[in-house]
Amino acid sequence: MAPYWLGLEPRMRRELVLQTHVWMIERALAPDAYPPPTADLVPDGALAHRLERLVPPDDRMRWRPWISIVLRALTRALERDDTRRNRRWVRTLFLIPSRVPPPIGHGAIVRAR
């Protein structure tokens, strides 16, 4: 999956996705993480701050909805029962941020279906 993630455009989206992956490894997949990783996923939490610091100040308002969507999706994924967390779940977890499209005007291509 690395070539896919490294090929994400625009560059800001790629950086946000990869930083989210770093957080997942450090917190979401760490055994016995304390406080629980979901504590980082509130709108004013550690992951939101980590991602917002990557975004230039002039673009933060445009990228905040992207960050909010990722936080909510990760929260839902982490609320799964521990017994249902398997390889497939981990793979899905890592795909979450890359499935969120970038804001319009930042390299997003809108296609009519």
Task: Read off the pLDDT of each residue in 40-61 and give the average, rounded to a whole number.
Answer: 96
CA end-to-end span of the chain: 26
55-91 pLDDT, tens digit each = 999 999 999 999 999 999 999 999 987 777 889 999 9
| CA–CA dist 46, 51 (Å, integer) | 9
Domain boundaries, the chain: 18-99
- Are the beta carbons of 62 and 106 closer than 8 angstroms? yes
pTM passes above 0.75: yes
Residues 6+ positions from 77 with CB-CB distance below 8 Å: 89, 92, 93, 96
